[in-house]
């Protein structure tokens, strides 16, 4: 899949145009899309997949091809975004004589990401010989053994999509291939925390089939998409372009025990369909993207389908700009009303040659309609293959652009386009009061409260779901109350406690939470792992709060500024043993779990690790205010909000001021804060 007719013919295309353009120029980050400078290998670089663990780590993967028009070499390509710039990541050594490429990547956390692709034999034909899976541990990439099917006629295999719901549950999809590199049948592999194994897919009843993308809502709810039919995918095309005449889009569903076919849009013969991207907001809101195909198997227009919890509905006609030829290779959503799809418009020229001049396109969904978003087109030939977003922070779209030619090098370079969300429009804040009242501002919706209801104990904290569509309240007796899309996983209400509960923190995926008590006891629910506590240990001061790392760890903070770390949460410093002007009341962690802030009741801020100092209440000369009891960072980690019991809200860094309750006659003091 390296020295493809698609890419080889590209040389003639670019040489004929005489293009010499710089793909690394672009304006400063604004609310719109802009070109982000990204380093290259010096060979032809093609980005195929991307994923963001948080605002401070995004990964883009693909293939780098040296001497593309001859019997050159292929190598996996990986780049990482650290919150401010792109960097080229070193790749592990492949087996002797093999090249390789990566087609997709998925992150569980900043220290656990998976990339999938194929080993490519050195025979000069660019055909896949075996699956390739790599893991990112936060510092470096390493190859993890993965199986390759051994069915009759199978010579190799490639994995084109991956999705993870936890450190012990990932799914990768792709296809097995014959001696020409063309697809035979779909391949599905699953990670159980210790090994990758082959899993049977659904029987499509077709001669050939393959899966190109996958997304999992949970361990019992995954969607995979691709194509199936009488024709094989043309091995001379990159997988981002269709090339199988008469095939139709394929959708399969995993229910936790087996894969099954689910009906999807079928185009009238001799037309067909090709699905490449899929993403889900929740179990009743998914999108699948790709292209319709003409009688020759080439892309003829956008194909976009929506899952409403019951059926897949064809939404292609509602997407502007896809005619006469276009393809949407990838789609990403941060909520039910914020989605982006990227791809390219033709002419595709049969996958190469002088009439191959694709242009990138970006579409956005606002909850009711799709529309084209302006994006920088920097050359006469470029395309976008992948898009991924971090809620309320940014979206990344990546692909390739033909910039300049040098001999056999057609000049394919990394194309990275980024968009930052306007803070005031994308940030949200929710406050909780001791009587269970909830007050929502900005993008955070009000989805319910315990205000006006009888409580056995006062509410002492709150946590919001990752998508901002719900929240939990926790009471001092361990009772938990869930609202919106926050699921109830359990509580300790009604149980004897040695000390009152003082806080709650959710897991990164929102499928669990921890409660912490004043004596340092920790109680875990859902997918939250118990990795330690201070329960039964002498403390110099009571624990007042907790914060979760970006995987399965957490910190506890005590009133004297002591910090206790568990699991993968690193200890970076504390105030224990130091004289304080006011007791510590709360703790918050940075997006990648490599830093944290401690909050004093006077509004003082103490920062550790990569947690920046952006301001404090005493620093503003404010004294004598009611106690400051909560802190919540912005999605980017470049700012935070503080809240006082009297309703005051203080914003610092990139935290927008969204509202406050000061002077509004609160029925009960505020006790918690959560941001989205």
User: What is the enclosing helix (H) or strand (E) of 14?
Assistant: helix 5-17
How confident is the model at residue 236, as a pLDDT?
62
8 Å CB contact between 177 and 156: yes
Band of residue 588 on the pLDDT scale cut at 50, 70, 90: very high
For 183-208, write each residue's pLDDT tens digit.
999 999 999 999 999 999 999 999 99
For 575-585, write each residue's pLDDT tens digit.
999 999 999 99
Residue 454 has pLDDT above 70, yes or no: yes
How confident is the model at residue 7, as a pLDDT?
41
Task: Write the burial class of residue 448 (CB in 10 Å: 0-12 exposed, 13-18 middle, 19+ buried).
Answer: middle
| Residue 391 neighbours by CB distance under 10 Å | 21
How confident is the model at residue 66, as a pLDDT?
80
For 208-234, write each residue's pLDDT tens digit.
999 999 999 999 999 999 999 999 987
Residue 69 has pLDDT above 90, yes or no: no
For 488-543, write each residue's pLDDT tens digit.
999 999 999 999 999 999 999 899 999 999 999 999 999 999 999 999 999 999 99
Tell me the pLDDT of the chain averaged across its residues: 89
Domains along the chain? 5-421 (2.130.10.10), 424-675 (2.130.10.10)
Write down the H helix ranges in 230-332: none
Q: For the range 515-524, what are the long-range contacts, defined as Cβ-Cβ under 8 Å and sequence gap of 24 or more?
A: 515/474, 515/478, 515/480, 515/491, 516/543, 516/545, 516/546, 516/556, 517/478, 517/543, 518/542, 518/543, 518/544, 519/543, 520/556, 520/558, 520/564, 521/497, 522/546, 522/554, 522/556, 522/566, 523/478, 523/492
For CA atoms 593, 594, 600, 605, the dihedral sign is negative
How confident is the model at residue 449, as a pLDDT?
96
Mean pLDDT of all residues in 248-275 = 96
What is the 8-class DSSP label of residue 350?
G
How confident is the model at residue 226, as a pLDDT?
97
User: What is the enclosing helix (H) or strand (E) of 169?
Assistant: strand 169-177
8 Å CB contact between 311 and 305: no
- Of 131, 45, 41, give the one whose Cα is nearest residue 89: 41
How confident is the model at residue 355, as a pLDDT?
66
Q: 123 vs 238, which has greater pLDDT?
A: 238
Q: 123 vs 261, which has greater pLDDT?
A: 261
Before 568, cis peptide (omega within 30)?
A: no
For 311-348, write each residue's pLDDT tens digit.
999 999 999 988 778 999 999 998 888 999 999 998 77
Distance, in Å, from the CA atom of 616 to the CA atom of 302, rounded to the nearest integer, reads 50
Band of residue 25 on the pLDDT scale cut at 50, 70, 90: very low
User: What is the enclosing helix (H) or strand (E) of 7?
Assistant: helix 5-17
| Residue 355 neighbours by CB distance under 10 Å | 12
Mean pLDDT of all residues in 2-7 = 38
Mean pLDDT of all residues in 27-33 = 52
How confident is the model at residue 152, as a pLDDT?
95
Mean pLDDT of all residues in 597-604 = 97
- Of 116, 123, 75, 117, give the one whose Cα is nearest residue 99: 75
How confident is the model at residue 72, as a pLDDT?
60
Mean pLDDT of all residues in 435-453 = 94
pTM of the model: 0.85
Before 647, cis peptide (omega within 30)?
A: no
Distance, in Å, from the CA atom of 461 to the CA atom of 215, rounded to the nearest integer, reads 32
How confident is the model at residue 446, as a pLDDT?
96
Residue 11 has pLDDT above 90, yes or no: no
Residue 172 has pLDDT above 90, yes or no: yes
């Amino acid at each position: 899949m390296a020295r493809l007719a698609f890419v080889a013919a590209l040389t003639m295309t670019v040489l004929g145009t005489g293009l010499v353009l710089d793909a690394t120029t672009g304006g400063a980050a604004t609310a719109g899309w802009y070109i982000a400078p990204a380093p290259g290998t010096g060979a032809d670089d093609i980005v195929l997949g991307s994923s963001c663990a948080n605002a401070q780590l995004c990964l883009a993967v693909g293939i780098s091809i040296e001497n593309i028009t001859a019997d050159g070499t292929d190598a996996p390509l990986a780049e990482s975004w650290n919150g401010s710039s792109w960097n080229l990541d070193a790749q592990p050594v492949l087996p002797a004589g093999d090249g390789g490429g990566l087609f997709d990547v998925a992150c569980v956390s900043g220290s656990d990401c998976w990339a999938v692709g194929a080993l490519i034999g050195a025979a000069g034909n660019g055909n896949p010989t075996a699956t390739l899976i790599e893991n990112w541990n936060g510092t470096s990439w390493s190859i993890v053994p993965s199986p390759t099917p051994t069915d009759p006629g199978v010579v190799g295999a490639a994995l084109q999509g991956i999705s993870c719901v936890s450190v012990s549950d990932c799914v990768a999809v792709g296809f097995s291939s014959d001696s020409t590199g063309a697809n035979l049948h779909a391949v599905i592999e699953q990670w159980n925390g210790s090994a990758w194994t082959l899993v049977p897919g659904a029987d499509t009843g077709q001669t050939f089939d393959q899966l190109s993308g996958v997304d999992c809502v949970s361990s019992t709810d995954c969607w995979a998409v691709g194509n199936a039919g009488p024709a094989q995918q043309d091995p001379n095309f990159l997988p981002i372009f269709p090339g199988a005449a008469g095939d139709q889009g394929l959708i399969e569903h995993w229910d936790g025990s087996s894969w099954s076919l689910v009906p999807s849009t079928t185009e009238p013969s001799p037309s067909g369909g090709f699905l490449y991207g899929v993403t889900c907001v929740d179990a009743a809101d998914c999108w699948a993207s790709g292209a319709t195909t003409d009688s020759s198997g080439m892309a003829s227009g956008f194909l976009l389908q929506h899952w409403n919890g019951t059926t897949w509905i064809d939404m292609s006609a509602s997407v502007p700009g896809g005619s006469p030829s276009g393809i949407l290779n990838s789609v990403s959503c941060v909520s039910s009303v914020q989605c982006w799809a990227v791809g390219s418009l033709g002419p595709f020229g049969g996958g190469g040659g002088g009439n191959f001049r694709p242009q990138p396109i970006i579409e956005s969904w606002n909850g009711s309609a799709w529309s084209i978003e302006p994006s920088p087109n920097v050359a006469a030939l470029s395309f976008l293959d992948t898009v991924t977003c971090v809620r309320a922070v940014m979206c990344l779209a990546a692909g390739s652009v033909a910039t300049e030619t040098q001999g056999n090098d057609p000049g394919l370079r990394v194309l990275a386009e980024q968009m930052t969300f306007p803070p005031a429009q994308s940030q949200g804040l929710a406050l909780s009061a001791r009587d269970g009242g909830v007050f929502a501002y900005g993008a955070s919706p009000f989805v319910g409260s315990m205000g006006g209801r009888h409580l056995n104990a006062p509410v002492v904290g709150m946590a919001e779901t990752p998508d901002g569509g719900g929240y939990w309240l926790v009471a001092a007796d361990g009772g938990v109350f869930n609202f919106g899309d926050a699921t109830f996983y359990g509580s300790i209400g009604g149980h004897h406690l040695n000390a009152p509960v003082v806080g709650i923190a959710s897991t990164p995926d929102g499928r669990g939470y921890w409660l912490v008590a004043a004596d340092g006891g920790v109680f875990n629910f859902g997918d939250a792992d118990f990795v330690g506590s201070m329960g039964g240990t002498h403390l110099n001061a009571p624990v007042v709060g907790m914060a979760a790392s970006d995987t399965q760890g957490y910190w506890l903070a005590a009133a004297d500024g002591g910090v206790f770390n568990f699991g993968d949460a690193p200890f970076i410093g504390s105030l224990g043993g130091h004289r304080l002007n006011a007791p510590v009341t709360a703790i918050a962690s940075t997006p990648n779990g490599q830093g944290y802030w401690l909050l004093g009741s006077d509004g003082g801020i103490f920062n550790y690790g990569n947690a920046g100092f952006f301001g404090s209440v005493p620093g503003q000369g404010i004294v004598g205010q009611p106690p400051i009891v909560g802190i919540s960072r912005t999605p980017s980690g470049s700012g935070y909000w503080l809240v006082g019991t009297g309703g005051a809200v203080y914003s610092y860094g990139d935290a927008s001021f969204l509202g406050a309750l000061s002077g509004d006659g609160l029925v009960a003091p505020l006790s918690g804060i959560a941001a989205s």
